[in-house]
Chain A
């Protein structure tokens, strides 16, 4: 495998890994799914809150 191919594969793997991590950690999937449903058919109601009384 030549050098430029190794760089390309490394960068691609990094990009895929970082994107997957971002999607897991930073995307509220319940909110995304809810965006495609009418409020009358919500399957998950997301309730926001701060960790303080």
Chain B
């Protein structure tokens, strides 16, 4: 997005293609109808374990997941949610690992609650209608309910897991092999956009105005702004380093959760060269 709005650039464009579900985006990446996508990190590990030639080349953000409950509910701990219905986006979502981690801290397991899979945009309405008792997802779908006044965060990754990784920039190996310059250019812009977003508060306001558009988040701008401001580290973009230990931990958590059938070596699913060689692009917005 930053690249296409950067009118000082004369190089090839990047085009964002909005998807509505993880299975669709996964299929598009597998078939090669797209060559790059933001994907759930455990989903990439699973694809690589199944010999799909893709690699993670950058993080997209850190933190940004929340577990929401109704404001008028009595739920203040996970023990209070025993036997209750909690929605997650997917078993491959890192949100699920976040939920498991929070349950484990109170000596609970996923068997102590009823977990249902649900598309994140449907979660705020489901909580409002009391179809679920809580939901765990990425922003802005926590902020939608919080800003409307009927939900509060029970837990946020900013407090519990600040270096949380979820969506990662993934490219097909073919693209790395045949056009590494373009991949480097993309990573330079992702890194540059991350630095730009976290460098000044005004940048977040400008980004919220753009991201709210129907081509991107298709959300009320005030909701995106709420995510950016309440608090400012609700989602962070300034540290997009790819740290092996963090990925290994995530991989182990996925194995324990049963979303991966076995360990996958970091080197198989991550190509760290582009981030190491990155020269963060100047964002001229």
Q: Which residues of A come within 8 Å of B, CB atoms?
A: 28, 30-31, 34-35, 38-40, 42-53
The answer on a CB contact under 8 Å between B15 and A49 is no
B12 within 8 Å of A (CB atoms): yes
Known A-B contacts A40-B178, A53-B64; A48 and B37 likewise in contact (beta carbons under 8 Å): yes
Residues from chain B with a CB closer than 8 A to the CB of A35 are 33
B151 within 8 Å of A (CB atoms): no
Q: A28-B33, A49-B167 are in contact. List 16 more A-B contacts (CB 8 A).
A: A39-B179, A40-B178, A45-B182, A47-B16, A47-B17, A47-B169, A47-B186, A48-B18, A48-B37, A49-B25, A51-B18, A51-B216, A52-B137, A52-B167, A53-B139, A53-B227
The answer on a CB contact under 8 Å between B89 and A39 is no
Residues from chain A with a CB closer than 8 A to the CB of B153 are none
CA distance A25 to B34 in the complex (A): 18
A–B Cβ pairs within 8 angstroms, 18 of them: A28-B17, A34-B35, A35-B33, A44-B14, A45-B14, A45-B35, A46-B16, A46-B17, A47-B34, A48-B18, A49-B18, A50-B19, A52-B137, A52-B167, A53-B60, A53-B64, A53-B139, A53-B227
B77 within 8 Å of A (CB atoms): no
Residues from chain A with a CB closer than 8 A to the CB of B140 are 52-53
Known A-B contacts A38-B178, A45-B14; A53 and B61 likewise in contact (beta carbons under 8 Å): yes
CA distance A34 to B217 in the complex (A): 25
Residues from chain A with a CB closer than 8 A to the CB of B60 are 53
- What residue in chain B is nearest A50 (Cβ atoms)? B19
Residue-wise, chain B 217-258 has the 8 Å CB interface mask toward A (1 for contact) of 111000000010000000100000000000000000000000
Residues of chain B from 159 to 209 with CB closer than 8 A to chain A in the complex: 166-167, 169, 174-175, 178-179, 182, 186
CA distance A31 to B277 in the complex (A): 28
